[in-house]
Amino acid sequence: MSNKELFESVVERLQEVSYLGNAISVLHWDQETYMPEGAADVRGRQLAATSGILHRMATDQELGDDLRRLANDGVDLDSDQRKLVDEALYDYERSNKLPESFVKEIAEADSRGIIAWKKARKAKDFSLFADALAKNYELARRAADYYGYEGSVYNGLLENYERGMTAEMLKPLFAELATRQKDLVARIVASPSQPDESWLNREWPVDMQERFSRSVLEMMGFDFDHGRLDVAAHPFCTSFTANDVRLTSRYDTGLLFSSLYSAMHEGGHGLYERGLPSEWEGTPLAHSISLGVHESQSRLWENMIGRSRPFWHASIGMFRDAFAGMLDGVDAEKAYAASNAVRPSLIRVEADECTYNLHIIIRFEIEVAVLEGDLKPADIPGVWNEKYKEYLGVTPPDDSVGCLQDIHWSQGGIGYFPTYTLGNIYAAQFFEKMETDLPDLWAGVEAGDLAPVRGWLRENIHQVGRKFTAPELLKRVSGRDLTIEPYMKYLETKFGELYKL
Ligand code: ZN
């Protein structure tokens, strides 16, 4: 078989694996949206069976041999084809690093961890979760050993979510970000100039919220011919190739902005998925780069566009129409100010733009300290509370709104919190370049024309697929390595003006 023929056969097998992965994602999506409760058991069996088949296909030895042969001797492949082979081989080798018995041990620890976490959170008693958490950290450290790493043990895990980024890069960067954001928040809190939020304090009908969310998604250019918006307990975006992108949101009658910004956030993820290069469908090149780059897309739409003054001037008419009669006296300026209210709080998922990263940095510092052996999992609650006092000036009354608030650690999700903050930093770095490339950007946004923003992101980020790592993409798009300067400048300018600092 020639290399060309072998390449085609490899692509076919990769696509089979990928389409089966899509089918499993449909099962997951259905589980979170429409599945009747009584189907939970059988759905669990269906997912276990299909995931087992997927794992066997993805780690098939012949596939690995063929990928290695092409990687070593792919002279007659073009550069995209060679990249595809390298990326597929990277994925293949990474998914073969963990022994099967260890993967099983992780799965069992995760399901025990979730149960223990739920119990502990309900009882507001960390001790009920302490053993499961210690076990998950021990498994995380062993996983890092199996994967292999240079420098901090943290890097062995971080690579799963943000390849190319290291704890050594993040530690000084996050420390400086924390200091500067802490200072900004202190000045905002002390400012006599605060937004009027009194008008938000009423019931907002769900159907009206949904109508407004859909109008904004249409304005963003979300393609409802290749996507849907449904309801789920925790908003998320999933896709079954670029041709089928599913968003979910949730509606709370007491919170007007929550559904809007969930829709814009997930819509940003959705536009990324929709914009991935479909000519490489089913291969690693049609895949997003990293969780951080994914998050940069959602944050850019949610915050940099959705919480901007021009956006509110463009959408205030639509806003008033959607909530017929309920928004008399609310103009664009009032909506803009209220959508940017800043308040240090205990709960990460409710945090505003100025305090959000502080929640992440606390988790990152704790994860690093435990993995590097400087902190025992049993001592997390005390350190957590100290850090909340220091960074946000608040103290949890109990651990359910402290270190037990997030599900991640209970299911072994250790090493990926930093991608949320990286998303914010990347977004600002991309946006700064976009503003230079598109001098009429804000005039367009104010006129309700978001197509240039979407077009720029598609060309510079989405269409790239997975040809670069996040650090490479940053350099290519912005001409700079990772830096917090554009992000801090964005925050200081917007909030400085809003709060008259
Ligand atoms: Zn997100």
Could you tell me the distance, in angstroms and rounded to a whole number, from the CA of residue 492 to the centre of ligand 1? 23
Distances (CA, A) of 331 to 186, 313, 314, 328, 337: 28, 8, 11, 8, 10
Residues in contact with 455: Cβ distance below 8 Å, sequence separation at least 6, in sequence order: none
Residue whose token pair is 């006296």: 329
- Where helices occur in 124-153 by DSSP H, the ranges are 127-147
pLDDT over threshold 90, residue 75: no
- The structure tokens listed for 363 are 């988790």
Could you tell me the distance, in angstroms and rounded to a whole number, from the CA of residue 298 to the centre of ligand 1? 6
Could you tell me the distance, in angstroms and rounded to a whole number, from the CA of residue 145 to the centre of ligand 1? 29
- The structure tokens listed for 470 are 């996040």
pLDDT over threshold 90, residue 1: no
Could you tell me the distance, in angstroms and rounded to a whole number, from the CA of residue 268 to the centre of ligand 1? 8
Could you tell me the distance, in angstroms and rounded to a whole number, from the CA of residue 296 to the centre of ligand 1? 8
Q: Are strands 227-231 and 245-249 parallel, antiparallel or unpaired?
A: parallel
Could you tell me the distance, in angstroms and rounded to a whole number, from the CA of residue 379 to the centre of ligand 1? 30
Judge whether 50 and 17 are in contact, CB under 8 Å: no
Could you tell me the distance, in angstroms and rounded to a whole number, from the CA of residue 62 to the centre of ligand 1? 36
pLDDT tens digit sequence for 243-296: 999 999 999 999 999 999 999 999 999 999 999 999 999 999 999 999 999 999
Of residues 150 and 73, more confidently modeled: 150
Q: What is the pLDDT of residue 74?
A: 78
What's the mean pLDDT when you consider all of the chain?
96
Tell me if residue 327 falls in helix, strand or coil.
coil
- The structure tokens listed for 240 are 């079954």
Global pTM value? 0.96
Catalytic residues: 266
Could you tell me the distance, in angstroms and rounded to a whole number, from the CA of residue 34 to the centre of ligand 1? 22
Q: What is the pLDDT of residue 96?
A: 92
pLDDT over threshold 90, residue 366: yes
**Distance from CA of residue 172 to its chain's centroid?**
22
pLDDT bucket at 453, cuts 50 / 70 / 90: very high
Q: What is the pLDDT of residue 104?
A: 86
Q: What is the pLDDT of residue 100?
A: 85
CA gyration radius, the chain: 23
Q: What is the pLDDT of residue 111?
A: 86
Could you tell me the distance, in angstroms and rounded to a whole number, from the CA of residue 295 to the centre of ligand 1? 5
Could you tell me the distance, in angstroms and rounded to a whole number, from the CA of residue 254 to the centre of ligand 1? 22
pLDDT tens digit sequence for 100-158: 889 889 988 988 999 999 999 999 999 999 999 999 999 999 999 999 999 999 999 99
Could you tell me the distance, in angstroms and rounded to a whole number, from the CA of residue 269 to the centre of ligand 1? 7
What value, to the nearest 5°, has the Cα angle with vertex 304 and ends 298 and 307?
105
Residue of 284, 283, 153, 314 whose CA lies nearest to 220: 314
Report percent pLDDT > 70 for the chain: 100
pLDDT tens digit sequence for 286-316: 999 999 999 999 999 999 999 999 999 999 9
pLDDT tens digit sequence for 192-209: 999 999 999 999 999 999
Could you tell me the distance, in angstroms and rounded to a whole number, from the CA of residue 480 to the centre of ligand 1? 24
